[in-house]
A and B are shown apart, each in its own frame.
Chain A
């Protein structure tokens, strides 16, 4: 069990560019979650998947954000036309049947 893996760890991009982050959950965890954490705040929920189905999306997830989990394993989070306000730590977590959520180390996004 290698834990939840997120790549890249850091991403610097220019405003208006598209970025994609990847999350590999703990094997056999059927649920996968995305959160966003800004400086000085706790994580805020974005969306979650049960296997490949996206079951819940936050209003924070604007139409510039899209998340997929095509085969029920890894997930990607894409942000189109990035804005400076998108700068944050993006956290992924996974769980087995909705039990305890285990977090990855996150991807820190800086939009210049």
Chain B
């Protein structure tokens, strides 16, 4: 069984600043994927970034990057140059041994102008 833990229920950041959202996970699978999804209010969940566990290099997507620490089972998301449109719930998820995604409880990100 897999578990995903997000220990920060809420975070806030000033526009144009950088923020890091934390995620830890546990899995017995040797081959797995990790994801960050964004869920704006009343809108659908959107994939932000994906990391294959066998890749040592941290994934990046424009202003979004991850810090993947496999031994520590840590997968944090860094958002640089935060924008008002980044305000949303952010969910960390794991997938391994099965196609189902296992999600954390989410972190609500507020971006202050």
A interface residue numbers (CB < 8 A to B): 3-4, 31, 33, 35, 40-45, 48, 55-56, 58, 91, 93, 95, 98, 100-106
- Contact, CB under 8 Å: B44 / A104: yes
**Are the CB atoms of A43 and B91 closer together than 8 Å?**
yes
Q: Could you count the A-B residue pairs with CB atoms below 8 Å apart for me: how many are there?
A: 50
Q: Given contacts A100-B47, A102-B47, A106-B44, are A42 and B100 in contact (CB under 8 A)? A: no
Interface residues on B, range: 10 to 19
Chain B positions within 8 Å of A, measured between CB atoms, are 4, 37, 43-47, 50, 91, 93, 98-106
Q: Which residue of B lies closest to A98 (CB)?
A: B99
The minimal Cβ–Cβ distance linking B10 to chain A, given in whole angstroms, is: 11
Q: How far is the CB of B55 from chain A (nearest CB, A)?
A: 15
> Ordered nearest first, which 6 A-B pairs have the shortest CB separation?
A42-B103, A45-B100, A103-B45, A105-B44, A42-B91, A103-B44
